[in-house]
Amino acid sequence: MNEDVLKKVQSNPKFKELVHKKTSLGWQLSIVMLVIYYGFTLVLAFSPSTLGAPLAPGMTMTVGIPVGILIILSAFVLTGLYVRKANGEFDSSTARSSRRHKNEKMHWLSRSDSVVAFPGTGFCFRCYRR
Question: Which of 52, 100 has the CB closer to other proteins?
Answer: 52
Q: Is 64 in the site for other proteins (CB under 8 A)?
A: yes
Q: Which of 4, 17, 39, 61 binds other proteins (CB under 8 A)?
A: 61
Give me the least distance between CB of 106 and other proteins, in Å please. 17
Shortest distance in whole angstroms from residue 102 CB to other proteins? 18
For residues 118 and 71, give the distance between their C-alpha atoms in angstroms, rounded to a whole number.
Answer: 36
Out of 11, 57, 60, 105, name the contact with other proteins by CB under 8 A: 60
Residue from 4, 17, 39, 41 in contact with other proteins (CB under 8 A): 41
Q: How far is the CB of 110 from other proteins (least distance, A)?
A: 8
Q: What is the 3-state secondary structure (H, E, C) of the chain?
A: CCHHHHHHHHHCHHHHHHHHHHHHHHHHHHHHHHHHHHHHHHHHHHCHHHHHCECCCCCCCECHHHHHHHHHHHHHHHHHHHHHHHHHHHHHHHHHHHHHHHHCCCCCCCCCCCCCCCCCCCCECCCCEC
Residue 106 binding other proteins, by CB under 8 A: no
User: Which of residues 29, 89, 106, 107 is near other proteins by CB under 8 A?
Assistant: 29
Q: Which of 86, 93, 108, 130 binds other proteins (CB under 8 A)?
A: 86
**What is the torsional sign of CA 59, 63, 68, 73?**
positive
